[in-house]
């Protein structure tokens, strides 16, 4: 287990606050690797140190801290570690949110398909109206306004 001060040296940072900021930025991913030691000292396991090194490498490559932490979170969740990293109380909420998102996507896709069909019908109707000989082309709606204007 590594302390904050040893992490500062390991990661090559200037202050312990920088280490704390990095831990806070990926706390939900680091949660299984964090422990409290004597005097409420924060301790990080070797796996946690590896995650913090990845975060620091991303930060050193030019990403902002929030962007680097999002990359780490996305990697851990896509690797199937989200079941381990999410607390049991919030896991059903996450799956409910995913199911709700999937339902929303399906309903939006259905609505888009309906609207495309409706537009096709209206375009077809419009083309038949302008093509037919017994239905002369309509004048624009603003043409009637020109008659009522008295400029003199």
Ordered by start, the domain boundaries in the chain are: 4-86, 87-141
CATH annotation of 4-86: 1.10.1660
Contact (CB, 8 A) for 41 and 23: no
Q: Which phi and psi (to 5°) does residue 134 adopt? A: -80, -5
Q: What is the pTM of this model?
A: 0.51
**Tens-digit pLDDT profile for residues 34-69:** 999 888 899 999 999 999 999 999 899 888 898 888
**Tens-digit pLDDT profile for residues 67-108:** 888 888 888 876 654 444 444 444 555 566 778 788 888 888
Tokens read off for 28? 């939900």
- Between the CA atoms of 139, 145, 148 and 152, what dihedral angle is there, to the nearest 10 degrees? -110
**Helix ranges restricted to H, the chain:** 4-11, 16-25, 27-30, 46-60, 65-76, 82-85, 91-131, 143-148
pLDDT value at residue 126: 85
């Amino acid at each position: 287990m590594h302390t904050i001060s040893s992490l500062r040296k390991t990661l090559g940072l200037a202050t312990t606050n920088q280490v704390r900021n990095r831990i806070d930025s990926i706390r939900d991913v680091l949660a299984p690797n964090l422990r409290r030691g004597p005097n409420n000292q924060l301790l990080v396991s070797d796996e946690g140190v590896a995650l913090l090194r990845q975060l620091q490498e991303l930060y050193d490559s030019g990403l902002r801290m929030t962007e680097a932490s999002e990359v780490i979170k996305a990697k851990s969740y896509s690797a199937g570690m989200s079941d381990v990293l999410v607390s049991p109380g919030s896991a059903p909420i996450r799956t409910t949110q995913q199911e709700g998102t999937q339902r929303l996507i399906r309903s939006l896709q259905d609505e888009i398909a309906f609207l495309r069909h409706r537009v096709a019908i209206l375009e077809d109707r419009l083309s038949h109206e302008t093509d037919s000989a017994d239905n002369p082309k309509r004048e624009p709606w603003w043409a009637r306004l020109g008659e009522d204007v008295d400029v003199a």
